[in-house]
Structure 1
Amino acid sequence: MYISRRSVMTFLAGAAPGAFTRAAATQLPPGIQIQKGPFQPTRESLKAYTVPQWFRDAKFGIWAHWGPQSAAEYGDWYARNMYLQGSRQYNYHVKTYGHPSKFGFKDVIATWKADKFDPDYLISLYKKAGARYFVSMGVHHDNFDLWNSKYQPRWNAVAAGPHKDIVGLFRKAALKAGLKFGVSEHLSNSYNWFAPAHGSDKDGPLAGVPYDGADPAYADLYHPLPKDFDIAKTPAMSRNAPESWKLLYFRRIKDLIDNYQPDLLYTDGAIPFEEYGLALVAHFYNSNARRHGGRVEAVYTSKGRQDCEVGTCVLDIERGIAEGIPPNPWQTDTCIGHWHYDKEARYKSPKLVIDMLVDIVSRNGNLLLNFPLPNSGMLDEAELKILDEVTRWMAVNGEGIYGTRPWKIFGSGPAASTAPLGGRPAAFNERMRKEFSAEELRFTTKGNNLYVFVMGWPGSQVIVKPLAVNSSVERVKVLNVELLGFKGKLKWAQDEQGLKVQMPEYRPCEHAIALKVTCA
């Protein structure tokens, strides 16, 4: 993103190293300071943001949704659900560790060892698989920071658990490999999300015995909830919290930004706590601009559609795909299985992963794909096999993915004519997805080339109807057709029925194939 020359010169002239401002143009809560720069902590000011070129070109990122909740290897939201009597994870916890009044999440943290964690090896696998950016977990709803945290000194990955600066180690490995580096934060919901830790069993031999979260000695992990706090009526993902928590949230994420300088910052939800969250976004952009000569190369993702419609940030859609072709770049974040590692999870097939990647890119989006790490920090065999198939496919077809832009339509075929996907709008609509067949086509463009992804092996011939000489989509004169990964010449013809391509017997890859159509 380029800001006006006048804004840049004013910014550079007036901001000495380390300079901060209370953002006098805006009334901010006490204790809030942000980096000076072209952005003020207001929605109006943040409208000036545009998505940097690197993100638009990258298309594919890999995420390690990893932390102390991975220690039990029993799925996502473990730190909350282990306090919900009768839940799958509560039952597992009691059987494996004991009752949560005696062995709580603070004790689970001590079992997270990361004894096989090799960030350089992992990043090398992700880069080979085609990822152009990597995202580390920064902090989940469990209130445990994965960096050497100034404002969470007792409950962070350097002070407890593996005693390793997870964010720092991942950052070093990613930058060394030439990848952009991102962090995710899920902290804003923690105050309400963690409330069940203050409860107790409703029935049974330990009914009424408080869980360990009620012990004030651990309020820095489980939060100091007021006595009248209604645990049963508090939604997990709500953000009803006191000002003291909002300020602590701001300070911790600002600490993460300042000390690890991510290229991408992912927030789980919409921009939190209005003036606190807007201040963080402005600080993030201004800090990034200072390191890039006034050019903002940062990406902030939000799940708040209204946040992103005005240009403030990149829209992130959890486990779902946008309808049509949104005008601005966006991102899907999803996982091959459960968010946190689950030894009983079933993973997406490699074909489904590739189908999603191509579909998302054809709609002007990026795919951020989580490979959950187990306690040890080393991928399991099934995950390695999925990575290997993605690696082999991207080696053949990456040309039609990286640096591309959407065409007039994202695709054609039975699934392309169904909207929204699975009958659900955007978020979480992937649950209804099925693997694509060869009837399904997806399109991307780069220069004078149109890439036609055939989402399965078509047999002896493929007909691309939108490229008919009398097409209602766009009148395109085809000059040449190639099959990525195949060195021979193809026989083809363009007529009123479409672009007809005779396919060779040789299949260059499994799953989707890509035709490179050179146009006049």
Structure 2
Amino acid sequence: MKRRILIKGALTGFSSLYLSRLAGQGLLRPYDNVAGSVSGPFKPNWDSLTQYQVPEWFRDAKFGLWAHWSPQCQPERGDWYARGMYQEGSDQYKYHCQKYGHPSKFGFKDVINDWKAENWNPEELVALYKKAGAKYFVALANHHDNFDLFDSKYQSWNATKIGPKKDLIGGWAKAAKHQGLAFGVSVHAAHTWSWMETAQRADKNGSLAGIPYDGKITKADGNGKWWDDYDPQELYAQNHPLSENSLDNGMIHKQWNWGNGVTPPSKAYCEKFYNRMVQLIDQYEPELMYFDDTALPLWPVSDAGLRVAAYLYNSSIKKHGKLRAVINGKILDEQQRKTMVWDIERGQSNQIETLPWQTDTCIGDWHYDRRIYDNNNYKTAKTVIHTLIDVVSKNGNLLLNIPVRGDGSIDEKERAVVEDIAAWMHINSEGIYSTRPWTTFGEGPASESAAPLSAQGFNEGKGKPFTSADIRFTTKGKTLYAFILGWPTNKTALIKKLATGAAVGKIEAISLLGHQTKLNFQQTAEGIKIQLPDEAPCKDAYVFRIEGAII
């Protein structure tokens, strides 16, 4: 999905002259002339969007699960497959040639056709995720491969016509509504323009050297083939010159912000993206839209993303009488963080954030990779639980992807992780849902060695692992919750932040979630010492309910 390194300052690297030229080309359009607008307080500019207030449902939810599922899961060879299969000599290229044939003969369009999602049962999966404690569910609506997973009026290459021939977003939305979960969609297709440029290449070596891959084929080339009457350029969007240094596979990361030599997208491409988003909002009514973009899609070369944001917010107010919509965006400046919910990919903030935020991560690879299953490399439930606790203590939410196989199922090892999360949440969710940060997020050695964020996140797993000396805090009303991230061997927990003389109230009672009786404790100058019961009520992390600490 992601793996990109972004250039510092890229958002501000566009001059007013450059933006004026884009406006002159029709890429930046005035709001009043746009079809599909809806009246309301929000206009498609950053100043107007700063009126945004994060809805309470999202702040209270804390935990969401995500199906980052698309035709790129069909080969079961990991993330960014639709790009990697066109990179000569790469693992995915070699796998593709062996499994399907050369990409000049069997391209990504053919992978889509091979994808049937025959074992997909959205009701069963979403019910499992609700059991695990998720309060919202997010489904991938399209990826960088440009294939819409809904009944798209503006993209013929969609899941109702090709591949599964099912309205996948419709099925997910129905299941989420039935289970009482807020429904969200993730959108990644704004970058197809440059991301799929690898499909314009040809081998440099071997017997097929110089024979182009299928990235430039046209509708006429489909005569008599399975894709007759479908235009591959509507999918690949490669009828344009390559970006600077496009043959360097790493350039996509440096050009993610639509700068540094990337070929600007056409007006038609940007407007088509906008129209697809408006339909997605109108037809499926998502309460959350996750954008895999810096700030908003196509910014700053087009205002399409700004228009989508204003449309979603105004539509939400019109439907609910108040704003319930959430947008997730990456690498936001100070103003932009006021307009949506900042998302950190595979990483966590190292402080309590003033504004609500979210981390997104995955127990494996973003798109399903069979090798992770074979090698037992999934994140454990313990790792997920510790991440959730840490994020919530800092005013954040966790959005967790469970990779879905090409056939629409999850494997038994993934299911075991989800079940273990469910067992923990059944006992301890009181300290998670509807909580707010305390004056400090926690204490312990992991806090002292936390790794800094880079680019859109990516500090996950770079610090010390959590131990019983690591404590995290949340609050709900006058109750303080303290999470210890390991079971002390001496059956005594020490919380230094609650030492005598600390700015806390008189501790009245301490209990352990999942344990029936009150616990004995002693408050000293070193900290509060809590005597634990002989048996732990659960695994992985343990939650004290502390009454009287909050003044």
Question: TM (normalized to structure 1)?
Answer: 0.91
Please say if 1:504 is aligned against 2:533. yes
Counterpart among 328, 340, 346 of residue 313 in structure 1? 340
Which SS does the other structure have where 1:35 is aligned? coil
Counterpart among 117, 132, 136 of residue 114 in structure 1? 117
Q: 1:271 to 1:164 in 2, by over 3 A?
A: same
Q: 1:489 maps to which residue?
A: 518
Please say if 1:300 is aligned against 2:327. yes
Q: 1:22 maps to which residue?
A: none
**Does structure 1 conserve the Cα–Cα contact (< 8 Å) formed by 2:450 and 2:463?**
no
Which SS does the other structure have where 1:284 is aligned? helix
Q: 1:84 to 1:306 in 2, by over 3 A?
A: same
Counterpart mapping for 1:36-185 below 5 A: 36-153=39-156, 155-185=157-187
Q: 1:482 to 1:371 in 2, by over 3 A?
A: same
How far did residue 28 of structure 1 move? 3.8
Q: Deviations over 1:407-456 (max 9, x none)?
A: 111110001123445x7577010042453111110000001111100000
Q: Which amino acid aligns with 1:183?
A: V
Q: 1:241 to 1:263 in 2, by over 3 A?
A: same
Q: Number of paired residues?
A: 490
How far did residue 310 of structure 1 move? 4.8
Q: 2:443 maps to which residue?
A: 412
Which SS does the other structure have where 1:367 is aligned? strand
**Does structure 2 conserve the Cα–Cα contact (< 8 Å) formed by 1:307 and 1:313?**
no
Q: 1:106 to 1:309 in 2, by over 3 A?
A: closer
Which SS does the other structure have where 1:44 is aligned? helix
Q: 1:8 maps to which residue?
A: none
In the alignment, structure 2 segments of 5+ residues that lack a partner are 1-28, 220-231, 259-263
**How far apart are the structure 2 equivalents of 1:232 and 1:458?**
54
Which SS does the other structure have where 1:500 is aligned? strand
How far did residue 497 of structure 1 move? 1.8
Q: Which amino acid aligns with 1:157?
A: A
Q: Which amino acid aligns with 1:485?
A: G
Q: Which amino acid aligns with 2:234?
A: D
How far did residue 296 of structure 1 move? 0.3
Which SS does the other structure have where 2:137 is aligned? strand
**Does structure 2 conserve the Cα–Cα contact (< 8 Å) formed by 1:144 and 1:156?**
yes
Counterpart mapping for 1:229-378 below 5 A: 231-232=246-247, 235=252, 237-239=256-258, 240-269=264-293, 270-274=295-299, 275-293=303-321, 295-306=322-333, 309-345=336-372, 346-378=377-409
Q: Deviations over 1:262-299 (max 9, x none)?
A: 01000002212342111110000000100112x10100
Counterpart among 478, 481, 484 of residue 454 in structure 1? 484
Question: TM (normalized to structure 2)?
Answer: 0.86
Q: 1:165 to 1:53 in 2, by over 3 A?
A: same
Which SS does the other structure have where 1:201 is aligned? coil
**How far apart are the structure 1 equivalents of 2:102 and 2:306?**
41
In the alignment, structure 1 segments of 5+ residues that lack a partner are 1-25
How far did residue 496 of structure 1 move? 1.7
How far did residue 249 of structure 1 move? 1.1
Counterpart among 417, 420, 438 of residue 386 in structure 1? 417
Q: 2:495 maps to which residue?
A: 464
When structure 1 is superposed on structure 2, of 266-275 and 55-64 the one drifting more is 266-275
**How far apart are the structure 2 equivalents of 1:181 and 1:336?**
21
**How far apart are the structure 1 equivalents of 2:241 and 2:546?**
67
Q: 1:146 to 1:307 in 2, by over 3 A?
A: farther
How far did residue 64 of structure 1 move? 0.1
Q: 1:228 to 1:365 in 2, by over 3 A?
A: closer
How far did residue 38 of structure 1 move? 1.1
Q: Which amino acid aligns with 2:296?
A: I
How far did residue 33 of structure 1 move? 3.5
Q: Deviations over 1:128-184 (max 9, x none)?
A: 00000000000100000000001002x101011111111000000001110000000
Q: Which amino acid aligns with 2:135?
A: R
How far did residue 326 of structure 1 move? 0.6
**How far apart are the structure 2 equivalents of 1:266 and 1:309?**
15
**Does structure 1 conserve the Cα–Cα contact (< 8 Å) formed by 2:204 and 2:210?**
yes
**How far apart are the structure 2 equivalents of 1:80 and 1:431?**
27
**How far apart are the structure 1 equivalents of 2:145 and 2:334?**
25
Q: 1:11 maps to which residue?
A: none
Which SS does the other structure have where 1:432 is aligned? coil
Q: 1:19 maps to which residue?
A: none
**Does structure 1 conserve the Cα–Cα contact (< 8 Å) formed by 2:200 and 2:214?**
yes
**How far apart are the structure 1 equivalents of 2:70 and 2:193?**
18
How far did residue 214 of structure 1 move? 1.6
